[in-house]
Structure 1
Amino acid sequence: MKVYELDTPAVLVDVDLLKANIEGMAQEAARLGIKLRPHAKTHKSPEIAAMQFDAGACGITVAKLSEAEIMAGYGIDDILVAYPLVGPAKLTRLKDLVRKTKVTVSVDSAAVARGIAEVGETIAVPVPVCVEVNTGQNRCGLEPGRATVEFVKSLAALPGIKVTGLMTHAGHAYQARNLNELRQIARGEAFLLADTCELLRKAGLPVDEISVGSTPTARFMAEMDGVTEIRPGTYVFNDYNMVCLGVAEVHQCALTVLSTVVSRPAGNRFVLDAGSKTLSSDPSVRGRGYGFIKDCDCTVTRLSEEHGVVEAEVEVVIGDRVEIIPNHCCPVVNLTDSLYLRKGQEIVGELKVRARGMNR
């Protein structure tokens, strides 16, 4: 089938670009001797995770326990759940999961750590945990330095867990105004974790891993002294936010949304059949609409649930097909049932998004 014969809206993935993105990140990590643990919330696909393992990934990262369960069910055997697990239902599920595969869990509070420790005591095997540190995003995570050291000390009283490392996610990198600011954020997250790690060593509490996340800062992994592991996710596809940040080019974006022009009510406005239920409502990090239309060299101006409105004087007619590079590829994948694999203008396969909606 030809690409433009698909019903729309449809999410397309260029197979060759996907492979190039996966292999490129893996090769750079290997060259620097840094482990690669990609974040699978981007693709939600065990098949793509397997491609990442084949390229050299040491494991994967997930945001939610349900994603981990799906991945483990397809044979993925080294998973970091980078999210606090709270409540008896989740702890019961964690107990079942750690009996099947290697699972590490992030913690930043005594309450979460105690629950995970109870799981480890029940199965008589300590559950590996990674302590989350705040390096500027101000979301989850303990403050670096003494606060983290004191917390790790307190975990020694919990025999059901084993602290394996420190982790952070510099999500504030998405607000960087230029590559120099990105570089400084990357160096900063590495320094704060390495400094905290040294304090732990001096306190007799050495840890093995210093794990950092985000595709934008991964670009500077060569400058992150002390880092042992990176957890980028978006790189596998890239998106318009990566283009705006300067860490990817349009021609490196493997994922696009095929859409149809369904209305042309004015010479400076047309409407597409891809709205917020397809593109998500995530804005551009540079405030430039809701996705870049490759064919027209313009952006989607505004969205409603089923409509993408483009305010631009371009030559299109009702029925034309266009391809949109979404601002943020992760929610776009979670909004679709399938990814259509392409080679050039040919559709060569369909990949089910097996962890779609797995948000618990």
Structure 2
Amino acid sequence: MSTEALARLAEERVDHRFKGLPPDADGLTVGELTAQRRNLFTDGFTTPVLALSAERLEHNLKLMETYAARHGLAFAPHGKTSMAPQLFHRQLEHGAWGITLAVPHQVRVARAFGISRVFLANELVDPAALRWIAAELAADPSFRFICYVDSVHGVELMDAALEGAARPVDVVVELGAGEGARTGVRTEAECAAVADAVAATDTLRLVGVAGYEAEVPQADPERVRAWLIRLVGLAVDLDKAGKFARAEEIVVSAGGSAWFDTVAEMFADIPELSLPVLKLLRSGAYVSHDDGHYRKITPFNRVPEEGALEPAFRLWAQVVSRPSPEQAFANAGKRDAAYDLDLPFAQVVRRDGAERPATGIEVTGLSDQHAWLSTASGAELEVGDWVGLGLSHPCTSFDKWPLIPVAEADGTVVAYVRTFF
């Protein structure tokens, strides 16, 4: 099913739905356009246009594959970052155990493209979604699905919606990252009560513990380490109490994109339990990385000998107004660029086939369709120039572009990534 579904993506027709693509490509299939190997800069692409670097994308995939293997971790990257089935499958080809997702719609996309292991990093209490999950589990014995539970009432709602299901739904108790943090059970005593509630059902099966360390208030290595000690201790205590009696392995899962080095360190010390332990890392932003937020917080900055991720996105915009020597405007704005954490970063200027550093040029704001550029004295910039912008926060970059060209360093477009938000 996955091969057929991916093949159908290549059969989709290029048209007005996909911004930035060459107008003269209308009517071609994505596969036909790919085969033409057009150049991003000279073969009809219109600005603004977002591109992924083919080389950097491959580098990031390989780096996290080797990182997870080196530290004995299973890897289920968070797919909500990209919601791109082609990237899901490339991650699986690079050793991923499965894909992490956040809401039922995302699981439906993953299943439509043949993803057989899904970790839902959220509690799921919607009856319609639970019945659909139950039907998927019943129809496909190879489908593995795990989700959070974080309250006794949530367990009761799930149990009621799943009455009569052919297979139990695997769940992990989510340990909250502290008072004032996001979701999750706040105390170990409450975790035990949730585990007991799961044990009292036939529709759910407790298989482990999980959480998200980036939500630790005022997170730093010591606070994150302390929370991970609690998470591992919770798994040990629940195991001693026989709460995983119906499981085949014990899942211990954490890992965003800020502290996966600390997760690897602490998971290395998980003691022997009554069943094999699946140490599941869930970092997702690595696939494209970025030039802002994640570049500043990546664990590879703290442990440089492990390697370095590379920003793979570049948004190309064109200068459309130069009203004064200190100001210019380019034709990409909030509809095109992530802006929730950092503004885009002017990196290069392209004119007549030549690129130069965007020295003295800064993005100071975004309107819906314009980037506000501040230009220092001597900054060379003209109407018609293309400006290459680095982006922050990949999670809100992919969602603005339903079809993204993947370009080699010389601009040759070798693939197109379809997103589903």
Q: Which range moved further: 55-64 or 220-229?
A: 220-229
Q: Aligned equivalents of 1:158 and 1:16: distance in 2?
A: 49
- Counterpart position of 1:287: none
Q: Deviations over 1:280-339 (max 9, x none)?
A: 33023xxxxx12222225542111211111223232111111222211111110111111
Determine whether 1:324 maps to 2:389.
Answer: yes
Distance 1:161 1:213 in 2: 24
Which position in structure 2 is the counterpart of 1:242?
A: 294
1:159 equivalent in alignment to 2:196: no
**Secondary structure of the structure 1 residue equivalent to 2:397:** helix
Distance in 1, matches of 2:222 and 2:362, equals 30
1:102 Cα deviation after fit:
2.2
What is the CA–CA distance in structure 2 between the aligned matches of 1:174 and 1:61, rounded to whole Å?
23
Q: Deviations over 1:85-137 (max 9, x none)?
A: 23333233333333343221222123332333345442221111122111247
5+ unaligned residues in a row in structure 1: which ranges?
Answer: 285-289
Question: Which structure has the larger Rg?
Answer: 2
What is the root-mean-square deviation of aligned Cα atoms in Å? 2.4
1:74 Cα shift? Answer: 1.1
Aligned counterparts, 1:175-194, within 5 A: 181=220, 183-194=221-232
Q: Cα 1:98–1:153, aligned 2, differ >3 Å: closer, same or farther? A: same
2:400 corresponds to which residue? 335
Which string of whole-angstrom CA distances, capped at 9 and with x for unpartnered residues, describes residues 323-360 of structure 1? 222111111101111111011122323424342x2xxx
Paired amino acid for 1:23 = K
- Name the SS of the counterpart of 1:279 in structure 2: coil
Which residue of the other structure, out of 72, 80, 87, is the alignment partner of 1:41?
80
CA positional deviation for 1:242: 1.4
Matching residue of 2:22: none
On the 8 A contact 2:214/2:258 being kept in 1, the answer is: no
**Greater alpha carbon shift after TM alignment, 10-19 vs 85-94:** 85-94
Partner of residue 168, structure 2: 126
- Provide the residue aligned with 1:198 in structure 2: 236
8 Å contact 1:185–1:217 — kept in the other structure?
no
> Which residue among 278, 302, 318 is the counterpart of 2:336?
278
Are residues 1:149 and 2:192 paired? yes
Aligned to 1:2: 39
Please give the residue correspondences for 1:1-360 in structure 2 after superposition, counting only pairs within 5 Å.
1-5=38-42, 6-99=45-138, 100=140, 101-136=143-178, 138-172=181-215, 181=220, 183-206=221-244, 208-225=250-267, 226=270, 228-239=279-290, 240-245=292-297, 247=299, 252-284=310-342, 290-295=343-348, 296=358, 299-313=362-376, 314-355=379-420, 357=421
**Using a 3 Å threshold, how does the CA distance of structure 1 residues 231 and 273 change in structure 2: closer, same or farther?**
same
How far residue 157 of structure 1 moved from its aligned partner, in angstroms, is 1.0
Distance 1:189 1:4 in 2: 48
Work out whether residues 18 and 254 of structure 1, in 8 Å CA contact, stay in contact via their aligned partners in 2.
yes
Per the TM alignment, residue 32 of structure 1 is displaced from its structure 2 partner at its CA by 1.4
* Alpha-carbon offset, residue 186 of structure 1: 4.0
Q: Check whether the contact 1:186–1:218 (CA below 8 A) recurs between aligned residues.
A: no
Q: What TM-score results when the alignment is normalised by the length of structure 2? A: 0.76
Superposed displacement of residue 208, structure 1: 0.6
SS in structure 1 opposite 2:155?
A: helix
Is 1:291–1:327's contact at 8 Å kept on the other side of the alignment? Answer: yes
Structure 2 unaligned regions, length at least 5: 1-37, 271-277, 302-307, 349-357
Alpha carbons of structure 1 residues 246 and 231: separation in structure 2 relative to 1, 3 Å = closer
Aligned mates of 1:321, 1:255 — CA distance in 2:
15
Equivalent position amino acid for 2:398 in 1: V
Q: Give the deviation of 1:221 after TM superposition.
A: 3.8
Q: Percent identity?
A: 25
* Change over 3 Å in CA distance of 1:229–1:216 after alignment to 2: same
Deviates more, 1:23-32 or 1:86-95: 86-95
